[in-house]
Amino acid sequence: MANARTRPVAIRAETRFGELAALQWGREGDPPLLALHGWLDNAASFTRLAPILADDRCVIALDLPGHGHSAHLPGTLRRYAITDQIDHVLDFAAALGLGQFDLLGHSLGGGIASLFAAAAPRYVRGLSLIESLGPLGDTGDRTLERWRAAHAELEKGRGKPRLFATLEEAVAARVEAGDLQAGEVRPIVARNVRRVENGYVWRSDPRLRLRTPLRIEEGQIRRLLAGIEADTLLLLAEPATPYLPTGLMNARAACLPAIRVERLPGPHHLHIRHPREVAAHIKKFLASI
């Protein structure tokens, strides 16, 4: 029983998009909790949090398309749009026969979870969000600039994949790019590299790094958030992450009919740095709804 909590089982599901991979903690008969990770992370982002939640939940952490061990978009000239991810999550849940479930998302995964809850409220019992409420929005002041830059970037093309001689070099690169320490990122990196002749390269799709040509306008985001029917928990880091300013998060939270906003000291990856504290908040919230 303890092993089912601490050692995840790798699962895969065939969907209309392609094969999606995931990690599962806990007993299959327990209430399901579907977890969605952040941009350029993967299911291993929940390695520290999931075992704590899995004492009474079946925690299923999905590798979003293009991440981890999930399939990449077909073709070469396509981008990953956040609005398309809702269909991929819905197909994955249907493939597993989840029915109604609790939904957890961090960062990009929280944006996807928010839009999913608004689009398909009948599936979501409780919504837990870490450092995200809706996707990154557009206020209109940089719309044309972003549009032109995105298309110029695609026209220019991408260089060769970065090669790492050792796994530790890949870990060091990830530490340099983020807010976590080597021990904290190692599970994510290990799931996100593949072995090649001279070392390791990232397994994730390079097109995930392409700019988004058009973001959803902020007013539209708030109207979508107002459609979330599930009780919602929002956990935010202190000090506030620069692209999640307090005023914006408060304004978005005010759109939801039933939301609790709680703040914890720590970095953007709260669930990795402080898994027990985050788990305590989530468990208390889920037990109350």
pLDDT of residue 158: 67
Distance CA 139, CA 146 (A): 12
Q: Per-residue confidence of the chain (289 residues) as pLDDT tens digits?
A: 446 677 899 999 999 999 999 999 999 899 999 999 999 999 999 999 999 999 999 999 999 999 999 999 988 768 899 999 999 999 999 999 999 999 999 999 999 999 999 999 999 999 999 999 999 999 999 999 999 999 898 777 666 789 999 999 999 999 999 899 999 999 999 999 999 999 999 999 999 999 999 999 999 999 999 999 999 999 999 999 999 999 999 999 999 999 999 999 999 999 999 999 999 999 999 999 9
Instruction: In whole angstroms, give the CA distance from residue 16 to residue 199.
Output: 33
Alpha-carbon distances of 58 from 32, 101, 283, rounded to whole Å: 5, 10, 13
Element housing 66 (H / E): none
Predicted confidence at residue 2, as pLDDT, reads 46
CA–CA separation, 183 vs 272, rounded Å? 10
Domain 2-146+215-288 grouped into CATH 3.40.50.1820? yes
Any idea which residues carry the catalytic annotation? 107
